[in-house]
């Protein structure tokens, strides 16, 4: 019987930004690492994080996430982290250049979608997004309800 060595490779979701999927049309997705402090990782292991008001900006040639709230670690000391500090995203140079080009030329926004652990490392799924108008949101909800009804009807018909 073979044993797996090392850390598990499963994806454990910490936080999901459902508001972004409602307010924006997600065009493209990227996976980025995060430069975090030790107490931030420990707080994330407790499952505490908010992505609701977060967005990505570019500073000095780097992608930085702003507005992500990671609460202070419950067992921390006076050296705890600032909950709302800006955190650097770890992306390849080509990805940063491509994202910056999409934001500058097409006027898109980069929003965080999901924060999760993969193999003991914190990863952030970000997406290039275009804002939806109110009528577009209603249309998306209507389409989703129709798809759900069709799936339900097909499932009932197969029984």
Helices (H), the chain: 18-23, 38-45, 93-106, 134-158
Give the end-to-end CA distance of the chain in Å, rounded to a whole number.
40
Q: How confident is the model at residue 5 (pLDDT cuts 50, 70, 90)?
A: low
pTM for the structure as a whole = 0.74
Residues 59-105 have pLDDT tens digits of: 988 999 998 988 888 776 777 777 788 899 999 999 999 999 888 88
| Burial environment of residue 92 by CB neighbours within 10 A (0 to 12, 13 to 18, 19 or more) | exposed
pLDDT tops 60 at residue 1: no
Query: Could you give the CA distance from residue 51 to residue 54 in angstroms, rounded to a whole number?
Result: 5
Domains and CATH numbers, the chain: 12-132 (2.40.280.10)
Backbone angles phi, psi at 142, to 5 degrees: -65, -45
Question: Can you give the three-state secondary structure of 112-130, one letter per residue?
Answer: EEEEEEECCEEEEEEEEEE
Three-state DSSP class for residue 92: coil
pLDDT tops 60 at residue 31: yes
């Amino acid at each position: 019987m073979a044993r797996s060595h090392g850390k598990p490779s499963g994806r454990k979701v910490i936080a999901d930004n459902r508001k972004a999927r409602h307010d924006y049309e997600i065009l493209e997705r990227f996976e980025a690492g995060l430069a975090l402090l030790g107490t931030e990782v420990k707080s994330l292991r407790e499952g505490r994080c908010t992505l609701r008001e977060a967005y990505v900006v570019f500073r000095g040639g780097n992608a930085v996430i702003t507005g992500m709230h990671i609460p202070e670690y419950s067992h921390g000391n006076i050296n705890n982290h600032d909950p709302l500090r800006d955190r650097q995203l770890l992306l390849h140079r080509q990805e940063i250049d491509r994202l910056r080009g999409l934001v500058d030329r097409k006027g898109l926004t980069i929003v965080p979608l999901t924060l999760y652990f993969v193999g003991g490392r914190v990863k952030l799924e970000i997406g290039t997004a275009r804002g939806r108008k109110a009528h577009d949101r209603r249309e998306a909800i209507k389409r989703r309800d129709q798809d759900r009804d069709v799936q339900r009807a097909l499932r009932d018909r197969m029984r």
